[in-house]
Structure 1
Amino acid sequence: MRHRLIVPSAAAACLLLAIPASAADATPGAPGVGDSYYPTAGNGGYDVSHYDLRLKYQPKTDKLEGTATLLATTTQQLSRFNLDFALDVSEVLINGKKATYASTGAHELEITPSAPLEKGKQISVVVRYSGTPSQVKIDGFTAWNRTPDGAVVAQEPESSYWWFPSNGHPTDKATYDVSVSVPDDVQAISNGVLASQSSKLGWTRYNWRSTKPQASYLTTLAVGKFEITTDTTANGLPVINAYSKDLGDNAASAKASVERSAEVVDWGSTLFGPYPFNALGGYVPNVKTGYALETQTRPYYSPSGFANGANVSLIVHELAHQWFGDSVSVKDWRDIWVNEGFATYAQWLWSEKEGEGTAQELAQYVYDSIPADNAFWTVKPGDPGADKQFDRAVYNRGAVAIQALRNTVGDKTFFTILKQWPTENKFGNASVQDFVKYAEKVSGKKLAPLFDTWLFTTSKPAAFPAPGGKAGKPAKTSKSLAATPQPKSWKKIQEAQAAHKH
């Protein structure tokens, strides 16, 4: 005979009080950070401090196997949380205990721990997985590109979904150890410093280490047959460059460009403050894609970027991003101007240094040569929209806005802003509004109207300000646009800009 246990009300209250607060109050972490353009990117409820990726990749089959260990801190009491990931998962452990998991949506891995996680606690998350990345499509797209001898993953606004689980938004940066085992006849290139490599039974393992905060989309991997060059800067930083052995006619021009990386960083350090990372270089794989990307410490360059000869302006753009975009990253993807406007303006400063057209001449050329009825002026660099995130207006009109600032505050104040901004915000995140406030603080001038005009209007401003803060000449009529003189560096700058678009 069964007996029903009747608990007195006082005892029931005691039992309820015995339930841990974390269990009673725990809620799921958000499946996205709420980005204006990519609301499902990133996740809520935790901050990752470190990724340890131990991978094995076979180029012949495009099969990737991996174990990712994430060290994180909870920011709320969590009943479950998400990682951004699209490959097949075989096991998840949290603090050494098995957790349940499910794939939800295009790139969401939903993880439920065996018990709720308390707020403010450090946790380890181990994910074992495998898959064929090039066959995984999200919205019809894959960031994983196969090459004749391997593969490359480098893409913006996200690339990690195809090769490691992450909190995939720039607001959650972390340090990285990327260990990759590949067949002996190929090499593995990633970010930071090559800490070690070893060979066994026909496989070589490359251990790369990035010790400064790094966004997930800036983490890269390239497997293939490379010619690798090494050097050190005057300050002792290791320089590692890699070139596919099958670049054809573009090989010499690629090397003539990328091998100047240390020179460019030394020059950039005089303008933007100390170089923020522990290594530098670049790599050029044998790919058909036509873009470059500022992958941290080791930018990715498509061979097509050098199809018309050496293009140091492209190197300047990607290395300027190490300060503007990598060290100081966007808070929200609508803030893309704090990346692209400044990287483009760095090209203009390089042109000025090389005597091929001053930044003022380049800015005036953009303003004078593009008619008022051109769609260029309808794009707002300060908030271009997801479909216009890499529009030429974000780059060129965005750089014009920076020259307008320079003309308004004067060179001394301007170059103080240019150097102190990435230094004071190192390894952080910033918005367009953050920069405007900072420029106003340093200059002592009310600059919001200036930036509203150049970054947030959908029409051509009436005039471009002249140096010294004086009123500029009004816009030229359409009849005189064709007669606008073109600075010598303009063609190379535009080639670099085309190569950077994604």
Structure 2
Amino acid sequence: MSRSVRLVPPAAALFALALTTTACGGGVHGTPGGSGVRDPYFPKAGNGGYDVDHYDLALDYTPAGRRLTGTAVITARATQDLSAFNLDLAGLQVDSVTVEGRKALFARAGQELTVRPHDDLSKGETFRTTVRYSGTPRTLTDPDGSKEGWLPTADGGLGLGEPVGSMAWFPGNHHPSDKATYDITVTVPKGLQAVSNGELADQSTKGGRTSFHWHTAQPMAGYLATVAVGHYDITRTRGPHGLPIIAAVDHAEAKESKEVLAKLSDIVDWEEYNFGPYPFSSTGAIVTGDSDAGYALETQNRPVIPADQFNTETLVHELAHQWYGDSVTPSSWQDMWLNEGFATYAEWLYGEDHGGESAQQTFMDLYNGDNEAIWAYPPAKPSSAAHISDSPVYLRGAMVLQKIRQKVGDDTFYAIIQGWAATHRYGNVDTADFTAYVEKKAPGHDFSEIWKDWLYGDGKPAHP
């Protein structure tokens, strides 16, 4: 871990000067891009002045010693004239930075890696930044106390990124509003596997080390990127309409996970019937050891689920996120209920269709129950960063959807949730987008009470 500036004093002085001056002689007169995009809960996350199109990450990880060496090639488009821009990177040692093949000045301050290109960048210009870095990747602690970033495991490591943990293992624009495609190549000691998002494009072994190249063709938010290194049993099967299913199960958990894993294809088929066509080019799961992570996460293409949580309900929930959260992604962390409310409601619908309680009965059980935490804050306005994963976002968020279903009936309701996923596929949305969409697709219905009492209102609504 290092926060030192990798410049001799004269260059550091020039760097500081470069950030406060513009180009001369009729060239581009850029200004620095913003550090952070002013997310209401994670204001330092992300950066202004550019949009990333693609990440090409080459990672070399040795579990013994927990050493990571990385090269990140980031292709982006300037959204303003830029004299400098920032990348999010927590810890690790930056060894060099180039922009468009020319050496760039850089400095570190906390999670901010500030880069000053040799030449200012013009608005609309596509540019390529290469960052070479190394060190021991950090495990970060979220405001709610959970662990993310790089989690060492008994035989490898696990990269998890919600909400900002991906910056612990690669530099980038780490806010869900900036989605990109990915190539992630991970090199590990021979005998270990490295699993990531998308599809395996190439695998090769040389000099006692094996490289796994994973390609993600559809846009992905940085928090959904993952790398799992260890002894995994990898299976490749086919799901609905030939959809590739790639599952990686911790070797010690393979037998216990087999029964639930066998349901994956049918769950995707059921979710396609309810939510519309599956939005990505493959699906699957990564089943880790019990102690590797204390939670499941909807990492794109294949959710990460600890073995002790690998059950049907969790698989339904995390796969539903492929539509709601992964493909249709919130513009800020304030809108997390658009992820979790939908995925929770998917569990209710699945239970309703598979011999369990109806969604309405689940709704009434919650309304009449003694779980007061549900009413702590409205789902569209979490009380703080420490509470964006609390029960109002999940359970009361799902209750909002059930209220809409009550109002419009099943035919219109399913048209709404399928249309929402299709209309905003691979994009970013906020709560106002959703309420406007519902009102547009269900004209003649008054949703003002639902929005006021259930989505934005404080406390328990007076009537279910």
Q: TM-score, normalised by structure 1?
A: 0.84
Would you identify which runs of 4 or more consecutive aligned residues in structure 1 move more than 4 Å? 135-142
Q: CA deviation at 1:155?
A: 3.4
Secondary structure in 1 matching 2:294: coil
* CA displacement, residues 304-333 of structure 1 (integer Å, 9 cap, x when unaligned): 214xxxx21100000000000000001110
Is the 1:379–1:388 Cα contact (8 Å) retained in structure 2? no
| 2:161 is the alignment partner of 1:155 | yes
For residue 226 of structure 2, the aligned residue among 220, 229, 241 is 220
The corresponding residue for 1:428 is: 427
For residue 35 of structure 2, the aligned residue among 31, 35, 39 is 31
The corresponding residue for 2:98 is: 93
Change (3 A) 1:175 1:113: same
Higher strand share: 2
* CA displacement, residues 132-162 of structure 1 (integer Å, 9 cap, x when unaligned): 0147789896521111100001131122111
> Structure 1: how far apart are the matches of 2:23 and 2:330?
44
The corresponding residue for 1:321 is: 321
**Matched ranges for 1:194-233 at <5 A:** 194-233=200-239
> Structure 1: how far apart are the matches of 2:373 and 2:61?
45
> Structure 1: how far apart are the matches of 2:284 and 2:142?
30
* CA displacement, residues 281-309 of structure 1 (integer Å, 9 cap, x when unaligned): 00112251320000000100012214xxx
The corresponding residue for 1:380 is: 378
Is the 1:378–1:457 Cα contact (8 Å) retained in structure 2? no
Aligned length: 437
Secondary structure in 1 matching 2:365: helix
* CA displacement, residues 242-301 of structure 1 (integer Å, 9 cap, x when unaligned): 111123xxx544332233222111111111111000010001122513200000001000
Q: CA deviation at 1:446?
A: 2.9
**Pairwise CA RMSD of aligned residues?**
1.8
> Structure 1: how far apart are the matches of 2:370 and 2:142?
37
Where do 5+ consecutive residues of structure 1 fail to align? 1-15, 465-502
Q: CA deviation at 1:448?
A: 3.1
**Matched ranges for 1:230-379 at <5 A:** 230-247=236-253, 251-288=254-291, 289-306=293-310, 311-370=311-370, 374-379=372-377
Secondary structure in 2 matching 1:80: strand
Q: CA deviation at 1:83?
A: 0.3
Give the number of the structure whose alpha-carbon radius of gyration is greater: 1
> Structure 1: how far apart are the matches of 2:290 and 2:81?
45
For residue 72 of structure 2, the aligned residue among 68, 89, 98 is 68
> Structure 1: how far apart are the matches of 2:251 and 2:196?
17
Is the 2:148–2:162 Cα contact (8 Å) retained in structure 1? no
Change (3 A) 1:287 1:56: farther
Secondary structure in 2 matching 1:270: helix
Secondary structure in 2 matching 1:37: coil
* CA displacement, residues 347-396 of structure 1 (integer Å, 9 cap, x when unaligned): 0000011011111111111111137xx34312211111322111112111
Deviates more, 1:230-239 or 1:123-132: 230-239
Is the 1:262–1:280 Cα contact (8 Å) retained in structure 2? no
Is the 2:336–2:388 Cα contact (8 Å) retained in structure 1? yes
> Structure 2: how far apart are the matches of 1:355 and 1:152?
36
> Structure 1: how far apart are the matches of 2:24 and 2:227?
49
> Structure 2: how far apart are the matches of 1:17 and 1:143?
38
The corresponding residue for 1:485 is: none
Residue identity (%): 45
The corresponding residue for 1:84 is: 88
**Matched ranges for 1:86-165 at <5 A:** 86=90, 87-105=92-110, 107-134=111-138, 143-165=149-171
> Structure 2: how far apart are the matches of 1:17 and 1:425?
40
> Structure 2: how far apart are the matches of 1:110 and 1:183?
33
* CA displacement, residues 113-133 of structure 1 (integer Å, 9 cap, x when unaligned): 112111110100000010101
What amino acid maps onto 2:286 in structure 1?
Y
Q: CA deviation at 1:17?
A: 12
Where do 5+ consecutive residues of structure 2 fail to align? 1-21
| 2:399 is the alignment partner of 1:400 | yes
Q: CA deviation at 1:18?
A: 7.5
Deviates more, 1:155-164 or 1:436-445: 155-164
> Structure 1: how far apart are the matches of 2:69 and 2:258?
33
The corresponding residue for 1:185 is: 191
